[in-house]
């Protein structure tokens, strides 16, 4: 990688505004995420953190400002946008595995249909990925036959099958039973350690402390704090962040 | 009951079956296209789909079938068969009837399918788009296969309605079951109820298994969430 390429941030947002009707959900967001960085986005519900995550691959269009992924501005809806989305992995709160396809078919689908990879090769890669996230034995089952934790790990494998440049996680453990949260976080921690650029919206403070390079704290559509995990959890600067941490860390 | 042997009951019902099968295939294809238009992001497509469905669905079928014969063929000269062949009138009327049934039944297929699309959680399409699938792929690979599985039972009702609707083709002289019935009524006026019963039984024989089979298929392929 040349110095210039390394300097291009993976995600760049500048002056981003977004409204849901009269509700101002994102207020003048400026953000740069360098390659290889793991960013955790924290904040109370309704603070705009999920929306922020979803604007990066344009699942939510923005009203003002610009977003660039790896130096390329987000195109309008169409072929070019589909191409860009193929390089941005996304993991949803509700897993969203294709309910009519088996786990291995879920993982193979996009490489075959979007990248034109041969079926045999796609299946081999898919099984390797499922092995990596620890559910290779479930490959031929349907999503509804798996536990939530297994489904979410399959969804991570499905996103990784496209060899994305960056992974977006939109509250990946919020819909899980407590005993299944750790298995998903373990996969994400491994991914972070391997150098994947990640933006993770979550309520898992343990993951933020352990795996994050940087914590963004959002409230009312604004990025209120932008700090390392040590700084944020040790000495939050804003009253809102102290209030938020006080509520979730005392029990 | 031996008066029945004087008539080609099987032959007439065979025409009914052919009308039904060709119209069903056509309606399924055209109805799917209409549904795709009605959910597409392109405003012109949506407007056309909506206008077509509301116009055609609310027009009486008899009017559409007679319109196909008198309007498309007699007035505009649209022939769907080789007019030098000996069976021209028979073939042309049959095909015009199929065209009319497809135009009409597709609107019901479209609306069933649209209801089916609404049963597919929006996250399914979001996941497909996030993976880089284009609109057509998202619809064709992820949304429609799940929508179809959800609406097999309602589509069975549409198919049963279509089977019985084919009797309207007698209005333009297609020799299906109800045209034969009219002929039998004229010749066998002393056995009216027997005539009615034999035609009715014929239709039940066609539609009852359709409903049962598709009901079973619907259960079999249902998507578990």
Per-residue pLDDT in tens (0 to 9) along chain A, 251 residues:
455 556 799 999 999 999 999 999 999 999 999 999 999 999 998 899 999 999 999 999 999 999 999 999 999 888 999 999 999 999 999 999 999 999 999 999 999 999 999 999 999 999 999 999 999 999 999 999 999 999 999 999 999 999 999 999 999 999 999 999 999 999 999 999 999 999 999 999 999 999 999 999 999 999 999 999 999 999 999 999 999 998 887 65
Give the residue from B130, B56, B99, B212 showing the smallest Cα distance to A170: B130
Decide if B133 and A114 are in contact by the 8 Å CB cutoff. yes
For chains A and B, CB pairs below 8 A equal 70
Question: Residue ranges per domain, chain A?
Answer: 11-97+166-249
The pLDDT, as a whole number, for residue A250 is 65
The verdict on A174 touching B (C-beta cutoff 8 Å) is no
Q: How far is B154 from chain A (nearest CA, A)?
A: 20
What CATH number labels A11-97+166-249?
Answer: 3.40.50.300
Interstrand relation of A166-170 and A222-227 (parallel, antiparallel or unpaired): unpaired
Would you tell me how many other CB atoms lie within 10 Å of the CB of residue A179? 10
Q: How far is A246 from chain B (nearest CA, A)?
A: 33
The verdict on A82 touching B (C-beta cutoff 8 Å) is yes
- Give A8-32 as a DSSP string: S-SEEEEEEEEEETTEEEEEEEEEE
Q: Which of the 8 DSSP states describes residue A137?
A: G
Domain of residue B178 covers: 2-221
Contacts of B225 in chain A (CB under 8 A): 99, 144
Q: Which of A89, A100, A110 sits opposite B223 (nearest CB)?
A: A100
Task: Give the CATH number of the domain where residue B86 resides.
Answer: 1.10.3720.10
What residue ranges of chain B have pLDDT lower than 70?
A: 1
- How much is the pTM? 0.88
Burial class (CB in 10 A: 0-12, 13-18, 19+), B197: exposed
ipTM of the complex: 0.92
Residue of A nearest to B221 (CA): A100
How many domains does chain B fold into?
Answer: 1
Report, in angstroms and rounded to the nearest whole number, the Rg of chain B calculated over CA atoms. 20
- Give B30-47 as a DSSP string: HHHHHHHHHHSS-HHHHH
Q: How far is B189 from chain A (nearest CA, A)?
A: 56
The pLDDT, as a whole number, for residue B125 is 96
């Amino acid at each position: 990688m040349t110095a210039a390429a390394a300097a291009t941030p993976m995600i760049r947002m500048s002056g981003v505004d977004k409204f849901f009707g009269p509700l101002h959900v994102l207020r003048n967001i400026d953000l740069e995420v360098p390659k290889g960085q793991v960013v955790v986005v924290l904040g109370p519900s309704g603070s705009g953190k999920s929306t922020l995550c979803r604007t990066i691959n344009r699942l939510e269009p923005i009203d003002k400002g610009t977003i660039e992924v790896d130096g390329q501005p987000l195109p309008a809806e169409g072929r070019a946008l589909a191409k860009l989305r193929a390089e941005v992995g996304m993991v949803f709160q509700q897993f969203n595995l294709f309910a009519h396809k088996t786990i291995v078919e879920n993982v193979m689908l996009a490489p075959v249909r979007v990248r034109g990879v041969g079926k045999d090769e796609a299946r081999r890669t898919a099984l390797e990925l499922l092995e990596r996230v620890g559910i290779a034995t479930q490959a031929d089952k349907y999503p509804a036959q798996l536990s939530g934790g297994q489904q979410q790990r399959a969804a991570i494998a499905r996103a990784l099958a496209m060899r994305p440049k960056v992974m977006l996680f939109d509250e990946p453990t919020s819909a899980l039973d407590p005993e299944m949260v750790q298995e998903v976080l373990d996969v994400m921690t491994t991914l972070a350690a391997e150098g994947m650029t990640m933006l993770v919206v979550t309520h898992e403070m343990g993951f933020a402390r352990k795996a994050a390079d940087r914590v963004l704290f959002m409230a009312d559509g604004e990025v209120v704090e932008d700090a390392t995990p040590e700084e944020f959890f040790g000495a939050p600067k804003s009253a809102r962040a102290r209030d938020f941490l006080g509520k979730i860390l005392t029990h | 009951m031996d008066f029945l042997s004087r008539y080609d009951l099987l032959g007439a019902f065979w025409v009914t079956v052919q009308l039904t099968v060709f119209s069903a295939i056509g309606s399924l294809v055209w109805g799917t296209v209409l549904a795709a238009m009605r959910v597409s992001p392109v405003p012109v497509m949506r407007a056309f789909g909506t206008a077509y469905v509301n116009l055609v669905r609310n027009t009486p079928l008899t009017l559409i079938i007679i319109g196909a014969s008198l309007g498309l063929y007699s007035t505009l000269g649209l022939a769907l068969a080789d007019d030098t062949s000996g069976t021209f009138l028979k073939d042309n009327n049959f095909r015009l009837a199929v065209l009319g049934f497809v135009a009409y039944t597709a609107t019901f297929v479209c609306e069933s399918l649209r209801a089916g699309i609404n049963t597919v959680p929006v996250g399914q399409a979001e996941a497909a788009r996030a993976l880089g699938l284009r609109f057509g792929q998202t619809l064709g690979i992820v949304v429609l296969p799940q929508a179809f599985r959800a609406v097999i039972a309602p589509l069975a009702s549409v198919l049963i309605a279509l089977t019985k609707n084919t009797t309207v083709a007698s209005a333009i002289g297609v020799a299906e079951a109800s045209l034969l019935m009219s002929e039998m009524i004229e010749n066998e006026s002393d056995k009216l109820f027997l005539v009615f019963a034999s035609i009715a039984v014929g239709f039940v024989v066609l539609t009852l298994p359709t409903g049962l089979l598709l009901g079973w298929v619907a259960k079999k392929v249902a998507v578990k969430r």
